[in-house]
Amino acid sequence: MITEADARTVLELPDRYVIRHGAHLSTGYHPEEKPVAEDFRYSRDINEDCLEAEGIRAMFPELEAKQAG
């Protein structure tokens, strides 16, 4: 979750958001970075790609095998 209060520290990349902290607030992290709007927020209720536990498990079948063994 990214709140409106965090927006000033967030960069949007083509495939993710980056929350910068402290000394890393300068730009230059990625050539395609761009700042988000001041009122930006990102939360589960607006995430179109939100995965439930089963979807996450499917991405990491080796972890499922370790738990079964």
Residue spans of the domains in the chain: they are: 4-68
Give how far Cα 66 sits from Cα of 51, 54, 69, Å. Answer: 21, 16, 5
Amino acid at the residue 68:
A
> What confidence tens digit (pLDDT) does each residue in 3-52 have?
899 898 899 999 888 888 866 666 677 889 999 999 999 887 777 777 78
Query: Whole-prediction pTM value?
Result: 0.60
User: Residue range 52-63: average pLDDT?
Assistant: 82
Predicted local distance difference test score (pLDDT) of residue 24:
62
Give how far Cα 60 sits from Cα of 16, 28, 55, 56, 68, Å. Answer: 20, 32, 9, 7, 13
Q: Of 1, 37, 26, 31, nearest to 13 (Cα)? A: 31
Q: Of 52, 8, 50, 13, nearest to 30 (Cα)? A: 13
Residue 53 pLDDT greater than 80, yes or no: yes
